[in-house]
């Protein structure tokens, strides 16, 4: 496994595109997908099973999308999606599962676990690349929306503090006005 992972990492080291983690128990599939995605400008990390993929996510916190096989020995793709999304740091990483089986039960289970897409084999690589690009664009838009919301929340807090300070100054001014009005009334008597 580490040999495939090392080759994949080396071939994508000079790239600056989004990092994609490929999880597939078949080394041939890993190599083909890594090569094709690398040619598209993506930085690619590879893992042969769910446990190696989780380790890769720890090593590469910049993974922006996961492409995994739905039917893997040990931990299935659906279980893997649940594991990934149970971690707050990885919750928003889009996951596309690939399957060679056309039984709808696996896809339904994958979507229920939180998969963003399920692609049936055989597929045209150009279609897969378009789906990947669409998921990455959506994830980027959601991140921008989250950042905008956080900035708006910060502005609301700042305005609330400013409003509280102005209210306190107004109350102080009103108290001072009443005090001075009381002094004027006493001076007149």
User: What are the pLDDT tens digits along the chain (189 aa)?
Assistant: 444 444 445 344 445 799 999 999 999 999 999 999 999 999 999 999 999 999 999 999 999 999 999 999 999 999 999 999 999 999 999 999 999 877 678 889 999 999 999 998 888 899 999 999 999 999 999 999 999 999 999 999 999 999 999 999 999 999 998 888 887 666 666
So what's the pLDDT on residue 87?
93
Indicate the domain borders of the chain. 2-144
Block residue for tokens 């696996």: 106
Contact 10, 46 (CB under 8 A): no
**Would you tell me the crossing angle of helices 77-86 and 104-113 to the nearest 10 degrees?**
10
Note every long-range contact of 130-135, with CB atoms under 8 Å and residues 24 or more positions apart, other chains counting: 131/96, 132/20, 132/37, 132/42, 132/65, 132/67, 132/96, 135/65, 135/94, 135/96
Q: According to the CATH classification, is domain 2-144 in 3.40.47.10?
A: no
């Amino acid at each position: 496994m580490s040999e495939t992972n090392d080759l994949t990492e080396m071939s994508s080291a000079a790239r600056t595109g989004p990092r994609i983690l490929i999880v597939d128990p078949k080394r041939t599939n890993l190599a083909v997908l890594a090569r094709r995605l690398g040619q598209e400008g993506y930085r690619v990390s590879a893992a042969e099973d769910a446990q190696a993929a989780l380790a890769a996510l720890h090593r590469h916190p910049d993974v922006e999308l996961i492409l995994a096989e739905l039917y893997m020995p040990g931990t299935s793709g659906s279980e893997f999606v649940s594991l990934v999304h149970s971690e707050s740091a990885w919750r928003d990483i889009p996951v596309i599962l690939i399957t060679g089986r056309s039984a709808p039960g696996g896809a339904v289970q994958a979507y229920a676990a939180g998969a963003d897409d399920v692609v049936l084999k055989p597929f045209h690589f150009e279609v897969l690349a378009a789906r990947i690009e669409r998921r990455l664009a959506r994830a980027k838009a959601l991140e921008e929306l989250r950042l905008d919301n956080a900035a708006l929340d910060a502005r609301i807090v700042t305005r609330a503090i400013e409003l509280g300070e102005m209210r306190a100054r107004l109350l102080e001014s009103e108290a001072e006005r009443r005090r001075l009005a009381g002094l004027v009334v006493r001076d007149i008597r």
